[in-house]
Amino acid sequence: QGCIQKYIVKNYFYYYLFKFSAALGEEIFYITFLPFTYWNIDHSVSRRMIIVWSIVMYIGQVSKDILKWPRPLSPPVVKLEMRTNAEYGMPSTHAMAATAISFSFFIATMNQYKYPFELGLVAAFVFSMLVCLSRLYTGMHTVLDVIGGALISAVLLMLLYPAWDTIDHLLLTSPLCPLFSIVVPLVLCYNYPKLDYYSPTRGDTTTILGAAAGATVGFWLNNQYASPAYTSRSFQRGFPLVTSTMVFVLARFFVGILVVLLTRWVMKSVVLGVLGYWYKFPIRDLEARRRLEVEVPYKFVTYSSVGFTATVIVPLLHELLGLM
């Protein structure tokens, strides 16, 4: 593990297409697309996507470490990624995330906005298919891993869909929401399945649940003190090309992403510094940062701050700057 494989790229179109598609199932996509939806399209759509995404990803990550199915052997495949090579293969969480996000976005918007049903369905299918195929091209998953991930995600989406409105209403109105949103993910992270060796799955799961926890607390606060979701439509923008100029859309996005990335950098430095002082280890000690008592609080606090900032601080800044 960790070795660099030599390979020759014979088709640069496929190479860059699938390298880009693989990124659509990683943090760089989550940290841009999900906030963009919240800032520029529709709060209710964003909330539903985040609920589905966090549940689907937790089940997918835990399933990997319970099933313990290996990734494809190399050789014969060439692996174009090394960070996730230490993880097990079944199911493909890239396939799960792509299916969950694309189809939850499609389902959440098809009855609210006017666009051809067929176009939305094809767009969701193409998006998820590109991500699934990228996992085969990069040598990270077998066909069975990808099909299993997409099917599991589809089943979970069908099971969650009837309860969407109920879950959304409870998360926005229940006085227990902030406590529930923090305690339950933390318990799940600290009781994540143990492996015989280190795998990034626990850290990635903590990142996802932390971001969802911070965002959920933000949703609740906004509903209590800013603009109640069930009594006001003032924050529901709709598709940006219809209701806003692209200048405002891009301004909201770039201001928001700058603040979100700054929050991540500051909180990561502060939390690691505090934990390093408490547990007596250098901040750059990678092995120490992988310990349960360090990794879980470090990632959870950092990314819950990111989720909270994206849903509360950034919209306030947008309003202050006149970008609403």
Terminal C-alpha separation, the chain: 48
Q: What is the pLDDT of residues 122-157, one digit of tens each?
A: 999 999 999 988 888 888 888 898 999 999 999 999
pLDDT of residue 231: 38
What DSSP state is assigned to residue 85?
Answer: G
- For residues 33 and 101, the answer to whether their CB atoms sit within 8 Å is yes
Sequence-ordered list of residues with C-beta below 8 angstroms from that of 32, at least 6 positions apart, any chain: 257
Q: What is the pLDDT of residues 202-249, one digit of tens each?
A: 888 999 999 999 999 999 988 887 665 443 344 445 555 554 477 888
pLDDT of residue 4: 56
pLDDT of residue 287: 82
pLDDT of residue 1: 47
> Could you give the residue numbers annotated as active site?
94, 141
Sequence-ordered list of residues with C-beta below 8 angstroms from that of 280, at least 6 positions apart, any chain: none
pLDDT of residue 270: 92
pLDDT of residue 14: 82
Residue of 89, 63, 56 lying closest to 155 (CA atoms):
56
- For residues 120 and 109, the answer to whether their CB atoms sit within 8 Å is yes
pLDDT of residue 85: 65
Which regions in the chain score pLDDT beneath 50?
1-2, 229-236, 243-244
pLDDT of residue 206: 93
pLDDT of residue 309: 93
235 CB burial (10 A radius; 0-12, 13-18, 19+): middle
Cβ count within 10 A of residue 238: 17
pLDDT of residue 234: 41
